[in-house]
A and B are shown apart, each in its own frame.
Chain A
Amino acid sequence: MIHASDRWESAILIALLSAIVLLTIVTAQRGRKYFVRRIPGLNAIDEAVGRATEMGRPILMVPGLSGLGVVGLQALTIFSYIIKTAAQFGNRLIMPTADSALYTVAEEVVRDSYTAAGKPEDYDPNSVYFLSDRQFAFASGVAGTIFREKVAASFLFGDFFAESLIFAEAGQQVGAIQVAGTVSTTQLPFFIASCDYTIIGDEYYAASAYISREPTLLGSLVGQDYCKIIILLVVLIGTIAMSIPALGAKWFFIQWFTL
């Protein structure tokens, strides 16, 4: 079992970063305005939904193999926005899931998004379904759905592994506009090669703030940037210290962050 007392310096850093994020959330809630740079992949969501409307074909949303954790819930937050937009135009939606716990929450989120969009009667209970928790059984099910339904737009957000390319290439073959975002850095090259837009790294977690412009989320996003500056400073000081023999590996700062 890992405890803070094993490495107090790491625990202090976690507490400090958490405090910064919470502080910026509070300042944003008190009315401070923050700027968010443009993220093309997230702007493309409206374009993809519009294209699906023109073609009269369904929209596919895949949360990958995500379980009920931060990655899966963030995927559902993004999907919630897509559903609200799609509901305005009466698009048909398909959301297969690989995790039964996430499926139950996804069902609620889809229903609530239709309600929020003012179209509760358009909600189709068959649009969200559990396929399989076996990686390649899920992959074949999703690929089959893409080919059979000839989806117009495909949104791939969540945890992906080897099956990522199967989804993305199947979407390519049916000519779907594809937007992907994942925290699995090993799958990013496949998405970049096969999808029209890819959301990279922490842009994935910035998505909900970018889409909703809700003060709490914007504050959190700015807090994340301050935290990144701290990490950058630590890396910079460490690099300089290791390059100066007089300081080197024995300096207390380097000792702190040495595993």
Chain B
Amino acid sequence: MNLQKFLISAFPAAKGSMIWIAPLLVIACSVVLFFVLQSLPGRARKALIASLTFLAGLFYALEFFWPVRKGTDENFLTFAVPTVGNVINVLAAFTLGLGVFSLVRIHTGKVVKQREGWPNSAVLLISIVVMAVAGIRFENTLFFRSLFRDVLNSFDAAMFATLAFFIISAAYRAFRIKSAEATLLMVAALVVMLGQIPIGQYLTHWIPENGSFASIFRLDSISNWLLLTVNAPATRAIGFGLGIGGLAIALRLWLSLERGAFFEAKADES
């Protein structure tokens, strides 16, 4: 019997009343597990976290490196990938509750103690309740749609629009000619910008486009050269460094070699 068949026979799909009983049992087990974890001494908890992290990483590493069955795109672990993904989603859902709790706790405190700016906190709390009720109870109504589309999306668009002004002030600082590098940056930026717009392309349109040596002096050619021959390799080089850095930190986290953070002080203390 392979692993997939064994797991399906060991954990059959819930039917009838088990659909309700099974989640309640899982929640009860989670609560028990939570208290067991809390009562563990720091070093034991650290060892447990390290073991679980290693097993989780090992699952994905094995699933990637294990050869697939002939004629298929799967090995003996592939079937479990969606299930493991669901477990991660469930854990993330728990943390979302904690996040909302943090938000409500801070702003309720502000409203109750009437600290500076408390009316804003009150608006936030009311908005959370209204949006939650609208989403749960009136999902397919005009009320929810207008809250989501006309209010929330408009706020998003307004924030995004502020970028236009911020880009101008940032560009002004970046392109001020203070040094040789800043001058080079400004000239390069000017050429790239001109090369992308019709008026810039018009400035050198009289230079033949293809087949002649002179074509390399067209603004759009220089602009493309800067983007593809100068900028792209630099970005790729940064990408290589980031990829290797990511691999190294992933290995350290997987093997619990990362020191100085993540529960270390707490574990050593107890």
Within 8 A of A (CB), among B61-84: 63-68, 73-75, 78, 81
Partner of A22, one of B155, B163, B251, B263: B251
Interface residues on A, range: 35 or more
Q: Considering residues B64, B78, B261, which has the most beta carbons from chain A within 10 angstroms of its beta carbon?
A: B261
CB neighbours of A101 from chain B (8 A) = 91-92, 95
Does A116 sit at the interface, judged by CB under 8 A? yes
CB neighbours of A194 from chain B (8 A) = 170, 173
Interface segment out of the listed B9-17, B29-37, B99-107 = B99-107
Interface segment out of the listed A47-55, A200-208, A244-252 = A200-208
Interface segment out of the listed A35-43, A150-158, A210-218 = A210-218
Whole-angstrom distance between the Cβ of B22 and the nearest chain A Cβ: 25
Taking chain A's interface residues, is the majority helix, strand, or loop, or is none over half, making it mixed? helix
CB neighbours of B260 from chain A (8 A) = 77, 80-81, 208, 212, 214
Contact across chains for B159 and A140 when beta carbons are under 8 A apart: yes
CB neighbours of B252 from chain A (8 A) = 25, 216-217, 220
CB neighbours of B251 from chain A (8 A) = 18, 21-22, 220
Taking chain B's interface residues, is the majority helix, strand, or loop, or is none over half, making it mixed? helix
Contact across chains for B266 and A200 when beta carbons are under 8 A apart: no
Chain B residue with the shortest CB-CB distance to A3 = B68
A4 in contact with B166 given A101-B95, A109-B262, A200-B238 (CB within 8 Å)? no
Number of A-B contacts (CB under 8 A): 203
Partner of A76, one of B163, B257, B262: B262
Partner of B247, one of A14, A111, A134, A169: A14
Does B171 sit at the interface, judged by CB under 8 A? yes
Whole-angstrom distance between the Cβ of B31 and the nearest chain A Cβ: 17
The distance in angstroms between the C-alpha atoms of A168 and B260, with both chains bound, is 28
Chain A residue with the shortest CB-CB distance to B189 = A189
Whole-angstrom distance between the Cβ of A68 and the nearest chain B Cβ: 8
Chain A residue with the shortest CB-CB distance to B101 = A130
B43-68 vs A, Cβ < 8 Å mask (1 yes, 0 no): 00000000000000000000111111
A4 in contact with B250 given A101-B91, A165-B166 (CB within 8 Å)? no
Show 16 A/B contacts (Cβ-Cβ < 8 Å), sorted by A.
Answer: A4-B64, A4-B65, A11-B64, A14-B247, A70-B246, A103-B95, A112-B266, A116-B265, A133-B99, A136-B155, A168-B170, A205-B242, A220-B257, A228-B241, A231-B240, A231-B244
Which residue numbers of B lie inside 8 Å of A, CB to CB? 63-68, 73-75, 78, 81, 91-92, 95-100, 102-103, 106, 109, 117, 152, 155-156, 159-160, 162-163, 166-167, 169-171, 173-174, 235, 237-242, 244-253, 255, 257-266, 269
Additional A-B contacts beyond A130-B102, A165-B163, A220-B252 (8; CB < 8 A): A4-B64, A5-B68, A109-B261, A113-B265, A126-B109, A165-B166, A172-B173, A220-B257
